Amino acid sequence: MIDHEIFLDHDRLQRLGMVEAIWGENKSCEQISCILQSFAVANQLALVTRVTPSKASKLLHSFKHAEYHPQCSCLTLGSPILIDPSFGKVIIVSGGTSDVSVASEAALSLRLHGVQTELVMDVGVAGLHRLLKNLKKIEDATVVIACAGMEGALPTVLAGLVPQPVIGLPVSVGYGVGHGGNAALNGMLSSCSPGLLVVNIDNGYGAAMAALRIVKAHKYSN
């Protein structure tokens, strides 16, 4: 039973152009259902992050038009905003396959807002030739999101190679001192590549919203 009123930011999409993300990890199915019902009544798109398959199964039973995205553990309700070609493309670069969940959360969050995305996987600095092979494709992006765990060097390398805004997205992949993504986060914050932006560990949605602000500014300044 929910013992307090839930206040939702239904004006965020109009005010900021961003869909409010619902953190699903620490919420019960009942709480998420209540929130989704509120979004449905308001006829607004809803995005729930960190949803386990068992929670998703129960929620999909109640919300027939919802969709579960298992690769990034997200659930959506409502139609995404149509892709706007004038935003250009956000390319999401990943050091390894272990980063796919966080990278996919960023990609889904952007597509829901009408931004075209492309994933470029497994181009970590341990095999720098893989990154250089894909550099031309990456240079066509409006914004680049670079996901990396371990020491988190990929965003620094990219920010030294391409002129576009690069958003570093540290991932909680690693062991020893790299456990939990702290080494990656600290490495990105200590980057010697000027202008590198960094978000919190595993915050795919946050990286996506930073990219969204940039592509919108780019669109409206032209």
pLDDT of residue 175: 87
pLDDT of residue 1: 42
Which stretches of the chain are assigned E, i.e. beta strand? 21-23, 46-49, 66-69, 74-77, 89-94, 116-120, 143-148, 166-170, 197-198
* CA separation for the pair 66, 55 (Å, rounded): 13
Residues paired with residue 145 on neighbouring β-strands, in sequence order: 92, 167
Average pLDDT, rounded, for the chain = 91
Reply yes or no on domain 85-221 having CATH 3.40.50.1970: yes
Query: 10 Å Cβ neighbour count for 158?
Result: 26
Q: Which CATH class is domain 12-77?
A: alpha beta
Say which residue the tokens 């009408």 belong to: 114
pLDDT of residue 178: 84
pLDDT of residue 41: 86
Helices 53-62 and 29-41 pack at an angle, to 10 degrees, of 40
Q: Where are the domains of the chain?
A: 12-77, 85-221
* Residue 24 near residue 75 (C-beta atoms within 8 A): yes
* CA separation for the pair 7, 26 (Å, rounded): 17
- List the structure tokens of 116: 């075209």
Chain segment 126-163, per-residue pLDDT in tens: 889 999 999 999 999 999 999 999 999 999 999 999 99
**What's the predicted TM-score (pTM) here?**
0.91
pLDDT of residue 147: 96
> How many residues in the chain?
222
Segments in the chain below pLDDT 70:
1-10, 222
pLDDT of residue 222: 66
